[in-house]
Amino acid sequence: MTPSLGEIGSLIARIQSIGADVVKIVTTAEKVTDVARVFHAVVHSQVPTIALVMGPKGLISRLLAPKFGGFLTFGALGVGQESAPGQPTLLQLTQMYRVDRMDRDTKVFGIVGNPVGHSKGPIIHNAAFQEIGYNAVYVPYLVDDMREFLEVYSGSDFSGFSVTIPFKEDALRCCDEVDPIAQAIGAVNTIIRRDGKLIGYNTDCEAAISAIEDALRESRHPPEKSLAGRLFVVIGAGGAGKALAFGAKQKGARVVIANRNFERAKVLAKSVGAEAIPLEQLDSFQPESGMVLANTTSVGMHPNVQDTPICKDVLKAYSLVFDAVYTPRVTRLLREAEEAGAIAVSGLEMFIRQAIGQFEIFTGQQAPKGLMREIITQNA
C-alpha cells in the first residue's frame, strides 16, 4: 500500500535524520491516485529522493520522476527482466517517454482508462511531441474512478487527457464545459485544462465516420459511396457507440442499436432517433443487404482475440464492417467480414484520426500527420 502524505513525510524525515545522502522509498499503488502523494513528498523533500510506486497503477511514478524532481528512476534491461512489478524497460523510458529530457516545465498528458496497457497513445503522442519540439509527455493512467482521478490530479501540470473505455460518459459529467458536438453525443474522449477549467471534446465521431466514408468511396462499387439512407447497425451503447450512432444519423443513415443491456440500447436509440434491438437478435438480423456494421465494444480485443460479437453467417448482409478494436489490427470480426465479402475497416484508422484531433486540441498546433500514421502502422 501507499501511506498517507503525513506518514510518507515522516518516513523521509526519519531516513534523512540518520545522515542519508539520498533517500529512497518504494510503495505499492492500490489506486493511481496514491501516486499523487508520493509526487508531493518528492517535490517537498529537502534531500535527493527516489520515490517509486510499484504495480501497473504506479507506473506514472517511474515515468514522471524527473518532472517532479526525483533523483532517479529505474528501468528493466528488457521485457521479462523487470526487478519490480510495473517497471518499464530502459528503452521505453529513454525513447518513448524521453525521461532524460524531462524537466519541471514538461506538460503532462495521458490516457485514462481501464484497461489501458494496450493503448498505442504513448507511442504516437510522445513521438509527435518530439517531432514538433513540444515540451510534453503522454502517459497511461490505469484508473478506477474518473471523478476522483480528476480531483486528485487537478494541478496545472496535468494539462490534458485522452479518455477511453469505460469513462467517456463519466468524463462528460466531470467537465466544467463541453463542446457542443460532445454534448450532443453524450460522451467525451478528450479533456484539456484551460484557465483552470476542464473542457471536454469528442474526436471519435469524426474519426470513425470519416474512416467509414473514405472506405466506401475507395470501394469498387459506386453505389456504396454514401451512408445516406443506409441501414447502420451499431453494437454497443457506451461512449464510442454514442459517437458512431450520432455521426451516422448526421449523415442520413437509418441507425439500429444492439447492446447487451437492452435498456441502454433503447435510451441511446431514443436520443438519436434510432431503433434498438436486443444483442441476441443480431445473429438473425438481416432485414436487407448492403448494411453497415460498427462494433464499438471491446469484444475481440487482446487477449480475447477469438471472441466476436456476431456470427459469421449473418455478415454476408453487410457491405462494410467497422471494428473499433485495434489490438489486434485484424480482429476475428474483420477477418470473417472480409471472408463474407464485406469491406473491413480497422479501428486503427479511427484511432489514428482521433489521435490527430486530440493532439491538435492538446497543443494548439498542427499535428505531424504523416509521422503519426507511420508510427502507428509500424507498431500495429
Catalytic positions, written as ranges: 168
| DSSP states of 264-298 | HHHHHHHHHT-EEEEGGGGGG--SSSSEEEEE-S-
Cα–Cα distance between 177 and 183 in angstroms, integer?
9
Identity (one letter) of the amino acid at 313? D
Helix axis angle, 239-250 to 204-218, nearest 10°: 50
3-state secondary structure of 316: helix
Half-sphere exposure at residue 26, Cβ-oriented, CA atoms within 13 angstroms: 12
Backbone angles phi, psi at 256, to 5 degrees: -125, 135
Half-sphere exposure at residue 255, Cβ-oriented, CA atoms within 13 angstroms: 27
Backbone angles phi, psi at 340, to 5 degrees: -85, 0
Cα-based distances in Å from 374 to 2, 160, 277, 348, 370 = 40, 24, 39, 12, 6
